[in-house]
Amino acid sequence: MNFKKEIGKIGEEEFAKIVSDIKQAAQLAQSQNVSLHLEFHQGTYTDTTESAKRLIEEIDEPNVYLYWQPLAYTSKEERLEQIKELSAYISNVHVFQWDSEFKRYPLADGKNEWNDYINQVQTLSSNKHYFLLEFMKDNSIDQFEEDAVVFKEILA
């Protein structure tokens, strides 16, 4: 499956319209002391480091940020590089463990990996961060509770 919808693959006119719309929304939000957070996510205009960075920089509003999450089609090393490149723009992080086929696993299976991601986010970005657990294996409440315990261990 190819979920990439890179900005570089859309026309400049469409890109300019997206930037204009988000910029307008950001300015309206700022007038109410609200920030906007775009999700770094496959199948969107922020599905690569380059496209996310270009979009945020073109918007150029102080209240526009990114939610970071691991893209299914990238390696751990690529993800750490994404965090490094996007650190100035990352606000919040979506936490889950899955593979390139979107098969969900217990967070414990990626504990070391997530320890590295979270350390990198907290070290490189001066923004305040919130972490959201999502995509539990089997959509299970019990799995959520287990993942929460593991996540608390990672943060400790």
pLDDT (tens digit per residue) in 1-44: 455 555 556 778 888 999 999 999 999 999 999 999 999 887 78
The pLDDT value recorded for residue 109 is 97
Q: Judge contact between 63 and 29, C-beta under 8 A.
A: yes
Q: Delimit the domains of the chain by residue range.
A: 7-155
Cβ-in-10-Å burial (0-12, 13-18, 19+) of 31 comes to exposed
How does residue 100 score in pLDDT terms, banded at 50, 70 and 90? confident
Class at the top of the CATH hierarchy for domain 7-155: alpha beta
Residues 55-73 have pLDDT tens digits of 999 999 999 999 999 988 8
The pLDDT value recorded for residue 11 is 78
Rg (CA), the chain: 16
The pLDDT value recorded for residue 44 is 80
Residue type, position 38, single letter: L
Q: Which residues pair with 37 in a beta bridge?
A: 65
Tell me the C-alpha distance between 13 and 16, whole Å: 5
Q: Please determine, for residue 93, whether its predicted confidence score (pLDDT) is greater than 80.
A: yes
Kindly report the number of other CB atoms within 10 A of residue 117's CB atom: 22
Question: The pTM is what?
Answer: 0.85
Segment 101-106 mean pLDDT: 93
For 30, phi then psi, to 5°, come to -60, -35
Q: Regarding predicted confidence, which is higher, 32 or 74?
A: 32
